[in-house]
Every structure is written in C-alpha cells, then in structure tokens.
C-alpha cells in the first residue's frame, strides 16, 4: 500500500496512538516495536478498543480488513508524517539546543497562539518517534506548527529535519549535554548545527541571538537570518527574570538569568510573525513554568527552586550562578548526578562539586553514585550515594526556613525531595 493510500485512511481517523492503553475511538494505531515489546501483538486489541485502522509489519497479525500491512511500521510513521506536513503546507518552526528547548517551545507557542491557531510538540516528544507524532497531530486548521527536536548523537537533528522540513529554525544554546553520544562539546556544536545546515541548504530562515557568538559563527555568511536581542535587555533575575523590550517592562514567573535567552527567542519570533507588543508582553508575564522546570514552590517554611527535569554541566553551572547570587541567608543546594557524559563524567562532576563552593550557599548535598566519587574537603558539602541516603538525612535533620535549589538529571527524579521535606 502506498503512502498516499495510507494517508487517505489516516484522514478518516480522529487521532493516532502507539499504545493500546491510550486508544481513542476512531484512531489509527501504529504497532511499533522495541527491545522488549512488539506492537503487532496488540493489533486486534487496538481494533476492539475502537481504533479505525492499525499499521502492522508482521503478516501473521493481519487478521482484519483494517489491518494495514507495511514493511516497517516506524519508517511508515515517519514517511506519513512528512507526507502530512507537505499536504498542510504551513510554516513550521523547529528548535533544538542543549538546554531550555521545552521552555522556549512553550513560550513561543504561548505567544503565537494569541494571534494564530498553533500546534506544538507536547511535553518532550522530540525524538525519531516523537517528531512524527507531533506532525501528525497538526490539523487542517493549524496555521503555525512548532516542533522541538532532541538529539544525543550526530546526524539525529539532520534526520529529524528531513522529516519535519522546517521553514524556520533556532538553537537555544550549545552546552555540555549528551557528551557521550556527541563525543565532546565540539561534537555537540556540530550535531545541533545540523538544523542550521538543513535550513541553509533549503534557503529557509534562521533566528539567532546577537549575543551568541558561537551560533553566529556557525551561520557564517548566510543571509536569511533574523537577528534579535538589541531591542531588549534583562533588568533583574532576583529571583524572577525582569526584562525590558521596546520600552515595555515585563516581570515574569521564570527564575534564573538563563531563562532570559529563552524569553528573548519567544519575543523575537512573536515580533516576526506580527504579534503585537502588548500581547507578547502579557503572555510572557503570565507564563508559569511546570513539569519540574525552574518552578518556584513553597513547601512548609521552605522556598524551593525545583529544576529537576534534567541536568548537564552547562545547565548546572547556570543554575548555581543564579541560586548563588540570590538574596537569602539560608540556602541549600541539592544536586543530583548528571548522566550521558561518557569519559568526561568524573571530571564534570568534580568540576561542579568544586564550582558549587564559590557561592554563598550554606549547605550543598550531592546525590548519586557519580557525585559520591568526587573529592573535596569543604564543610559545606555532604555526599549521598543514593536518594535513600539523602532521605534518611532529611528525616533526621529536617530543613526549615531554607531557600532550596533542587537540580539533577531526569533519572535521579529529585522531585521526590518534596515528599520528604
């Protein structure tokens, strides 16, 4: 069956699914495979639960007229997404980067949705499966699409760009993330810049911050560039970012100077797409972060910056810079292991351990096997090999009237600290 024929079936469906636990009546189910599962086995179950069609790639499971047999379900999902993207023919903005992707995507979507019918990546569905799923969620009335792209090795952003075919693109930053897969910071720069390479080769438009010299170097002499930053400036980040753009002062709910760049991108994109300044400023001011990303939470007598969604050396240093400079007499940093750093792991954890001591932070709790192996002799620092060890410490020595920073990689799940305080 051709992609065009599958597309006709797709247009009859109300939604898509890759999980039989989340079947909506009238959906199209893609029977994906993984190391420990085979979606083909659940094809009939999906139909019984209300799926209109199921896409499978093993003939023995084609036991119903609405089973569509293809050579490879994943490749079909990706090809169908690109076919749909071409049929819609709408402007698509793609973004990637080492830090701040999801917050930036949410800000851009919030700003543009004041004026347009937008659709954007949900959560962090930003990989070789998530990007196609995002594109297939775009409807006939969608006016602008926003696609987040993640990567942990080279050629991945190139691959995702060829699926989404973006008209506009931006990179939030280059940082020390996924060093194991990229092979060091130069590999990160090369891998993330694949988005720029794609846009340049297709004569599409790049957004770039005037203050990011590394990105400007990657763009080179390319002409279709929207440069921004000169019409805005940060006034404060104590603890929330306060900025001014076009003589308008915006007080945000986003903490940390590192979030200023994410906000600046959203303002620039909104301005380019003719969203009025009043709508932009009100939307930025009203945006409240969620999902463990730079959230400010009160728990008992403690005030907490919960930034536990993910971490790498660059974002960890930025968080410490911000937290260390906040005006508070009783500060505690709880930092969890950073993953996917490869051979640089020990050095980067030691570097963060050393760096944390520069600031006026009363206590620093380092959590996880990697931080446990670091060495220094500061009275400020306590190391815990596991979360359970930290939990015991907090039970025996409760924290009260403190200002806390909680940050670590997703696998550390440090939001669990909230249940212990």
The reported pLDDT for the residue numbered 377 is: 77
Going by pLDDT thresholds of 50, 70 and 90, the confidence category of residue 371 is very high
273 with 166, same domain: the answer is yes
Q: Considering 286, 320, 337, which residue would you say is the last residue of a domain?
A: 286
The beta-strand segments (E) located in 6-66 are 15-17, 27-30, 33-34, 37-38, 53-56
311 with 371, same domain: the answer is yes
Cα–Cα separations (whole angstroms), residue 326 to 204, 238, 347: 41, 6, 27
222 with 245, same domain: the answer is yes
252 with 112, same domain: the answer is yes
Instruction: Look at the chain and report how many structural domains it folds into.
Output: 3
Q: What pLDDT, in 10s, does the model give residues 386-418?
A: 999 999 999 999 999 999 999 999 999 999 999
336 with 190, same domain: the answer is no
**CA 406, 313, 170: angle at the middle one, nearest 5?**
100
Assess if residue 15 is contained within a domain. Answer: yes
322 with 372, same domain: the answer is yes
Q: Considering 39, 72, 105, which residue would you say is the last residue of a domain?
A: 72
Assess if residue 118 is contained within a domain. Answer: yes
Assess if residue 351 is contained within a domain. Answer: yes
Count of all residues that appear for the chain in the document? 421
Domain containing residue 119:
90-286
Range list of H helices, 234-380: 258-272, 277-286, 313-324, 345-356, 369-372
0.95 exceeded by pTM: no
352 with 233, same domain: the answer is no
128 with 212, same domain: the answer is yes
Q: What pLDDT, in 10s, does the model give residues 192-242?
A: 999 999 999 999 999 999 988 999 999 999 999 999 988 899 999 888 999
Q: What pLDDT, in 10s, does the model give residues 105-141?
A: 999 999 999 999 999 999 889 999 999 999 999 999 9
The reported pLDDT for the residue numbered 211 is: 87
97 with 16, same domain: the answer is no
Q: Considering 72, 100, 121, which residue would you say is the last residue of a domain?
A: 72
Residue 246, token pair as written in the block = 């076009």
Assess if residue 386 is contained within a domain. Answer: yes
CATH classification at residue 377: 3.90.190.20
Assess if residue 82 is contained within a domain. Answer: no
CATH classification at residue 61: 3.40.1390.10
189 with 299, same domain: the answer is no
121 with 258, same domain: the answer is yes
Assess if residue 373 is contained within a domain. Answer: yes
The reported pLDDT for the residue numbered 184 is: 86
For the four alpha carbons of 182, 186, 189 and 191, in that order, the dihedral sign comes to negative
CATH classification at residue 194: 3.40.1190.10
254 with 367, same domain: the answer is no
- For range 365-377, the mean pLDDT: 94
Assess if residue 225 is contained within a domain. Answer: yes
Assess if residue 81 is contained within a domain. Answer: no
């Amino acid at each position: 069956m051709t992609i065009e024929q599958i597309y006709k079936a797709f247009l009859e469906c109300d939604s898509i699914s890759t999980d039989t636990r989340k079947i909506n009546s009238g959906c199209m189910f893609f029977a994906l495979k993984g190391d420990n599962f085979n979606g083909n086995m659940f094809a009939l179950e999906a139909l019984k639960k209300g799926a209109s069609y199921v896409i499978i790639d093993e003939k023995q499971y084609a036991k119903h007229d609405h089973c569509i047999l293809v050579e490879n379900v994943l490749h079909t999902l990706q090809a169908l997404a690109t076919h749909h993207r071409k049929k819609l023919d709408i402007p698509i903005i793609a973004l990637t980067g080492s830090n701040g992707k999801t917050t930036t995507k949410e800000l851009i979507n919030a700003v543009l949705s004041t004026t347009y019918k937008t659709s954007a990546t949900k959560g962090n569905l930003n990989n070789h499966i998530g990007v196609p799923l995002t594109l297939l969620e775009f409807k006939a009335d969608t006016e602008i699409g926003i696609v987040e792209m993640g990567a942990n090795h080279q050629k991945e952003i190139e691959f995702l760009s060829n699926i989404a075919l973006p008209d506009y693109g931006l990179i939030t930053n280059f940082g020390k993330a996924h060093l194991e897969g990229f092979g060091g910071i130069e590999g990160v720069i090369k891998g993330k810049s694949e988005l720029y390479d794609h846009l340049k080769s297709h004569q599409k438009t790049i957004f770039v911050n005037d203050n990011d010299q590394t990105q400007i170097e990657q763009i080179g002499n390319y002409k279709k560039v929207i440069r921004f930053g000169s019409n805005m400036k940060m006034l404060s980040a104590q603890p929330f970012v306060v900025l001014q753009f076009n003589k308008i002062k915006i007080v945000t709910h986003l903490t940390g100077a590192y979030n200023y760049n994410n906000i600046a991108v959203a303002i620039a994109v909104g301005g380019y797409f003719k969203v009025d300044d009043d709508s932009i400023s009100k939307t930025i001011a009203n945006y409240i972060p969620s999902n463990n990303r730079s959230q400010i939470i009160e728990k008992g007598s403690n005030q907490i910056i919960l930034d536990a969604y993910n971490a790498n050396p660059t974002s960890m240093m930025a968080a410490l810079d911000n937290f260390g400079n906040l005006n508070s007499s009783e500060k505690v940093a709880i930092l969890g292991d950073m993953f996917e750093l490869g051979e640089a792991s020990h050095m980067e954890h030691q570097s963060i351990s050393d760096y944390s001591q520069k600031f006026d932070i009363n206590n620093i709790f380092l959590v996880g096997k990697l931080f446990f192996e670091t060495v220094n002799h500061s009275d400020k620092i306590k190391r815990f090999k596991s979360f359970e060890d930290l939990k015991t410490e907090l039970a025996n020595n409760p924290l009260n009237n403190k200002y806390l920073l909680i940050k670590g990689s997703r696998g550390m799940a440090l939001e669990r600290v909230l249940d212990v305080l």
